[in-house]
Amino acid sequence: MATAIPKITLSSSRDIPFNRLVLSQSNVRRVKSGLSIEELARDIERRGLLQSLNVRPVLDGEGAETGTYEVPAGGRRFRALELLVKQKKLAKTASVPCVVREAGSAIHAEEDSLAVRSDLSIENQVTARGATWLDRQAVARDPVVLGQVGFGGEVRDAMERRAEQLIEQGFAERRAQGIVLARNLIAKLRGRELHEAGERLASETGRTFSQSASGEYVTGTYRQRMVLASGRYAMIDDGLQFQLVPWTPSLERQQGRHVSGVARDDGGIDWSFTRNRGLGL
């Protein structure tokens, strides 16, 4: 008789202040590989944390939650964030996207590698208007290897349903050899969502929505962070128009302040937070 496989619910990310996170001594991934901590920190500073941390609540002697969370997996990401805090590039209370597991639950390497960096649940990603983690997996040259059952099976099923949605939305076609995704799928989905979000904000604020191209100067007041399916974006308002640009942890302390930077080819911004008051335009 086949053993029943328990249903696994994939949680969406939840923001937890960095100073409430502690690295578990039983971190499940001890192998040092890939980027160094310093390189990873620089990457996080430029692009944000692309993969959520798996965490568990720390309990007191009576079994009550203490408000602190341990990080049993993802130690290199934690150390990189810790380095940014030491370098004063990230506030101690900066929000870190985390997937909260039950206290005492086991977090395996597969689950940590599949920790979805998204503020949307897997279920909501299936029908999302923007570019989701599921979409990035579908077009990745080296996607995460998914199991047939359990945690990986849940993700595999969601990816299949997402493909059907993309067909309905005109971003994929069913052919004899299988489902063929549109070229530049991620950019098209992200562009659609940003345009829709920008139009909504324009109607709410009375400002004109403007999009920056590579090499262009971005300047204005950092008003707010927006959470979209395509990621987190910052609203930069110059008084007449505004732009939506990728949010990074380096913006955490700048809300309500003037910021400026130059748009990069990859869509990110090289920020400068010291306003030049010497020369007028």
Establish if 281 belongs to a structural domain.
no
Establish if 249 belongs to a structural domain.
yes
Other CB atoms within 10 Å distance of the CB of residue 184: 11
User: For residue 237, what is the domain's CATH number?
Assistant: 2.40.50
**Which of 161, 183, 205 is a domain's end point?**
183
Query: Quick one: 61 and 99 in the same domain?
Result: yes
Query: Quick one: 220 and 234 in the same domain?
Result: yes
Query: Quick one: 88 and 13 in the same domain?
Result: yes
Query: Quick one: 111 and 29 in the same domain?
Result: yes
Establish if 200 belongs to a structural domain.
yes
Give the pLDDT of residue 150: 62
pLDDT of 198 above 90? yes
The answer to whether the Cα torsion of 38, 44, 47, 51 is positive or negative is: positive
Number of folded domains in the chain? Answer: 3
Mean pLDDT of 14-26: 86
Give kind and range of the element (H or E) at residue 212.
none
Nearest residue to 175 via CA among 183, 185, 167: 167
Distance CA 164, CA 159 (A): 9
Q: pLDDT higher for 267 or 191?
A: 191
Give this prediction's pTM: 0.65
What SS3 class is residue 93? coil
Q: Are strands 231-237 and 217-228 parallel, antiparallel or unpaired?
A: antiparallel
Nearest residue to 226 via CA among 58, 206, 204: 204
Mean pLDDT of 179-207: 95
**Could you tell me what percent of the chain has a pLDDT over 90?**
41
Query: Quick one: 11 and 74 in the same domain?
Result: yes
User: For residue 100, what is the domain's CATH number?
Assistant: 3.90.1530.30
**Which of 90, 117, 144 is a domain's end point?**
117
Range of the domain at 221: 186-272
Mean pLDDT of 102-129: 69
**Which of 80, 95, 117 is a domain's end point?**
117
Query: Quick one: 38 and 109 in the same domain?
Result: yes
